[in-house]
Amino acid sequence: MGEASGDDDSSYPFSVTTPQPPPPPPPKKLSVLPLIALIFYNVSGGPFGVEDSVSAGGGPLLSLLGFLVFPFLWSLPEALVTAELAASFPENGGYVLWISSAFGPFWGFQEGFWKWASGTMDNALYPVLFLDYLCQSLPFFARPAARTPALLVLTAGLTFLNYRGLNIVGLAAVALTAFSLSPFVVMALLALPRLRPRRWLAVDLKRANFRGYFNIMFWNLNYWDKASTLAGEVEDPSRSFPKALFGAVILVMASYLIPLLAGTGAMDASITEEWKDGYFAQVGMVIGGAWLRWWIQAAAAMSNMGLFEAEMSSDSFQLLGMSEMGMLPAIFAERSKYGTPTISILCSATGVILLSWMSFQEIVEFLNFLYSLGMLLEFAAFIKLRIKKPDLHRPYKIPVETFGAVIICVPPTILLVLVMCLASMRTFIVSGSVMLGGFLLYPAIEHMRNKNCIKFLNTTLPPEGCSNTPQVQNQDVVDEASVSFLPDHSCVKKELQDLEINSDGILDKE
């Protein structure tokens, strides 16, 4: 027995191997319905926060016109562009891939940095808004001694839910969408006998705050492109994204217009100044009673949870996608056993906590400015790819030629420039600091890559004009989603043109 248990195994004719446990199943992909819910929460989350548009616009008229007109000037063009490009680049990273393909990795990195900073600022709003709605019924949370720990606990809990898996987040978003919108369906039905259509026409331009008005409109109707950053986690993204985006456009417009029509048509038009964040709870009290007020407050609180989850998912998978491209260190691409990017989630959560002390109006203006910069790049990339890469495989294509593509981008571009021009000097300083940080961070990361200080998944980045998506029409030859950024400086299209299929169905070099 002593010899048999020794270290020398040479007497055994066969080696003994320990059976390995089977690998965990891959995370379940998102289908169209959860994707609609995630896009809905990236953009809207319900009518919570649109109340300020009534007071900022000097009455119901400009608010209602804004949510009728702005979706066609802004939301629909952004959704169309996102549908085409997300279907053409069905991988994690979204708009970072689009910009990199059109203008090279430097501007792709800047796009990712600006959008991540904007998204983190946006996400810092939702735990604060969650407690603001609770304070109306539970004033205990207005005290700093209770508010600060509550913010930390809430952020930690929501971050853990995000860590548990994107499919769970998607299903939770579907349930939260139904719960968040249901009290407004009831409120609209109860408001019918009280409606006075003439109240919708009330406006006092002398009391209008147009800078606040445009910022509120823009904030409530942007971020249509955010879900593209997790395209690699979506089931058949080339077909799912166009369907989900168009479904979300209809849902967002209805979720804003129906409550506003009901509330402003049923309430006294002379109390415009009372339309502030959270006022829909008071509207519910007048129209239905205390039970409807409580229901709206609960829906608002839960909606902010959904907004937080959708934003953090998009931001964290954006960092994961940038890491897979080699723009960020490999640590950002590490996944948990649930398939979620652990370090990327923690990084986004840290940013949320650090920004939660800022005021609502400050955060909205800062994030709008950075978001506008990113969107200008996206529209430019959309047009350049139409001109320079006409053969790019586009499973969904906006049915217009290049001139029509330019026309589609004109109205939202004018709106973007207008929002940026209305920004305060403080916003210019903060946004300029973020831009400077991005310009400095890119060469610093390149230096770390060249010195091998930190591990990267790809050692080099492709130059302008190179994409990780093959520009071929025959999808049977190469699967688009299986090709990543190449480690050398050759374009994918050229590589694919050098390949041919032999008689055995194997790809060979010419």
| 188 within 8 A of 259, measured Cβ to Cβ | yes
Q: Which CATH class is domain 32-433?
A: mainly alpha
Residue with tokens 């205390």: 290
DSSP 75: I
**What is the structure's pLDDT at 287?**
92
Question: What residue segments make up the domains of the chain, in order of their start?
Answer: 32-433
Residues 6+ apart with CB under 8 A from 307: 41, 45, 123, 126
Q: What is the pLDDT of residue 463?
A: 54
Q: Which two tokens stand for residue 276?
A: 């502030």
Q: What is the rounded distance in angstroms from the CA atom of residue 131 to the CA atom of residue 142?
A: 8
Backbone angles phi, psi at 9, to 5 degrees: -100, 10
pLDDT for the residue 34:
84
Taking the C-alpha atoms of residue 477 and residue 508, their distance in angstroms, rounded to an integer, is 12
In degrees, rounded to 5, the angle at the alpha carbon of residue 419 between the alpha carbons of residues 416 and 421 is: 105
State the Cα–Cα distance between residues 67 and 74, nearest whole angstrom: 11
Residue 20: which region, alpha, beta or left (left: phi > 0; alpha: psi -120 to 50)?
Answer: beta
Cα–Cα distance for residue pair 230/224, rounded to 1 Å: 13
Q: For residue 500, what is the DSSP state?
A: E
Residue type, 489: H
Per-residue pLDDT of the chain (510 residues; tens, 9 = 90+): 444 444 444 444 444 455 555 555 556 677 888 888 888 888 888 888 788 889 888 889 999 999 998 888 888 898 889 889 988 888 878 889 999 999 999 999 999 999 888 888 877 777 777 777 677 667 776 677 777 787 788 788 878 877 776 667 777 788 888 888 999 999 999 999 999 999 999 888 888 888 888 888 888 888 888 878 777 778 887 788 888 888 888 999 999 999 999 999 998 867 777 888 778 888 999 999 989 988 998 888 888 777 887 788 888 888 888 888 888 888 888 887 877 788 888 887 887 777 766 666 677 778 888 888 999 999 999 999 999 998 888 888 898 898 999 999 999 999 889 888 888 888 899 889 999 999 999 999 888 888 888 888 765 555 555 444 443 333 333 333 333 333 333 343 343 344 343 434 444 433
Structure confidence at residue 384 (pLDDT) = 94
Contact in structure between 381 and 101 (CB atoms under 8 Å): yes
- The SS3 of residue 235 is coil
